[in-house]
A and B are shown apart, each in its own frame.
Chain A
Amino acid sequence: DVVMTQSPLSLPVTLGQAASISCRSSQSLVYTAGDIYLNWFQQRPGQSPRRLIYKVSKRDSGVPDRFSGSGSGTDFTLKISRVEAEDVGVYYCMQGTQWPRITFGQGTRLEIK
């Protein structure tokens, strides 16, 4: 299975400042047609996960534009341009290129300083 490694695992951020989470895969996530199936999820305290980003950089409906995804091959990044209080929670990357053998990163806990 593809191993997804996130860093950092804990991310204290000041309100209004930027935040960045890295996700690395143990093998290339490029699919045969050139697509990359890398998603990002947000799990707020006490809630179920919610998809924010799919196919590396496409934002889901209703996701604020302060969230952006980038990357290629095996290295991917989720950026939050200006952190707000509602962004507190755990963020997971997930690879779908090896569907159905989906794998998730360990999660990154974002907290407000």
Chain B
Amino acid sequence: EVQMLESGGGLVQPGESLRLSCAASGFTFSGYAMSWVRQGPGKGLEWVSSISNTGSITYYADSVEGRFTISRDNSKNTLDLQMNSLRAEDTAVYYCVGGYFFDWWGQGTLVTVSS
């Protein structure tokens, strides 16, 4: 059974940093691209970032380019998202998503950016 467990969410002030992590199991982690998708309060889904299966190529939405960094450790089956210079508009539930075509989703972790 595929499982993805996010952690690291919380309440931070604008300008602060936060690191999200995702522990994946139940599939060959190193064979698949991984992504982060977020959902603001009462809003729809927004792609944030993706990383190739080897970790050599990363992609970012314009809204987070230069502030967020995605990384993975294929030896530990983990995916991370380092979020710097957080803004109020980054407030959302962040989902870890596995597969090139968004096959598997975690339960999400809530990030709240507020003073």
Q: Count CB-based A-B contacts (< 8 Å).
A: 54
Contact indicator B101/A100 (Cβ below 8 Å): no
- B residues sitting closer than 8 Å to A (CB atoms) are 33, 35, 37, 44-47, 50, 59, 95, 100-108
Check A99 against B95 for contact (C-beta < 8 Å): no
**Is A8 among interface residues, defined by CB-CB distance under 8 A?**
no
A: contact size bracket: 20 to 34
Q: Does A71 count as interface, using CB distance less than 8 angstroms?
A: no
What is the CA–CA distance of A95 and B95 in the complex, to the nearest angstrom? 18
Say yes or no: B102 contacts A48, CB within 8 Å.
no
Q: Is the interface of A mostly helix, strand, loop or mixed?
A: loop
Cβ–Cβ contact B105 & A92, under 8 A: no
- How far is it, in angstroms, between the C-alpha of A99 and the C-alpha of B100 when the chains are bound? 8
1/0 contact string of A46-59 vs chain B (CB within 8 Å): 00111100110000
* CB atoms of B46 and A54 under 8 A apart: no
Which residue of B is nearest A49, CB measured?
B105
